[in-house]
Structure 1
Amino acid sequence: MSMAGILLSAVVAVGALAIGIALQDWRPRPRRSDRTGRACPDCGDLRIRAVGPGNRLNGMLECRACRCVWSQNAAGG
């Protein structure tokens, strides 16, 4: 391979890397990463649900992994 071919390959590789980095910054964050304050305070799991109406825990959050229940207001959300 000639010196020009090696140089062209290097320029294309650096350009592709720069475009990849630019697109990574431009793309919106995934929805799961925007769940600040929505992790279980006990085990840290993100699989939580809001407790429905019909009992005294209405509106509180419940972890599906460890069954911990907490108030949304106390979690900062």
Structure 2
Amino acid sequence: MSMAGILLSAVVAVGALAIGIALQDWRPRPRPRPRRSDRTCPDCGDLRIRAVGPGNRLNGMLECRACHCVWSPNAAGG
């Protein structure tokens, strides 16, 4: 190989390395997943939860659609 060929190979290798590092830093960071324990029924563990709407005394509480357990989302441990 000639000196120009070696120099061209080195430039291409350095360029590929620089592009690889730039793309590595460019990737978006993964978003943290929401905690599933906040949205599970404390009684049966089901994920089918709905918020009780306005119009009754349970406004703002969560209700399990499987076992109909109702609890406050702000309560400790549940």
Q: TM-score, normalised by structure 1?
A: 0.49
C-alpha contact (below 8 Å) 2:64/2:70 kept by paired residues = yes
Structure 2 gaps of 5+ residues are none
**Structure 2 SS opposite 1:57:** coil
* CA shift for structure 1 position 52: 0.0
Q: Give how far 1:64 is off.
A: 0.2
What are structure 1's unaligned runs of at least 5 residues?
Answer: none
Return the TM-score normalized by structure 2.
0.48
Which segment is superposed worse, 18-27 or 67-76? 18-27
Give 1:65 deviation, angstroms: 0.2
Report the number of matched residues: 74
Q: Given that residues 39 and 49 in structure 2 are in contact (C-alpha distance below 8 angstroms), is that contact kept between their aligned partners in structure 1?
A: no
Query: Once the two structures are aligned, what percentage of the paired residues are identical?
Result: 97
Larger Rg, first or second structure (1 or 2)? 2
CA RMSD between the two structures: 7.1
Q: 1:42 to 1:35 in 2, by over 3 A?
A: closer
Q: What displacement does 1:11 show?
A: 26
| Other structure's SS at 2:46 match | coil
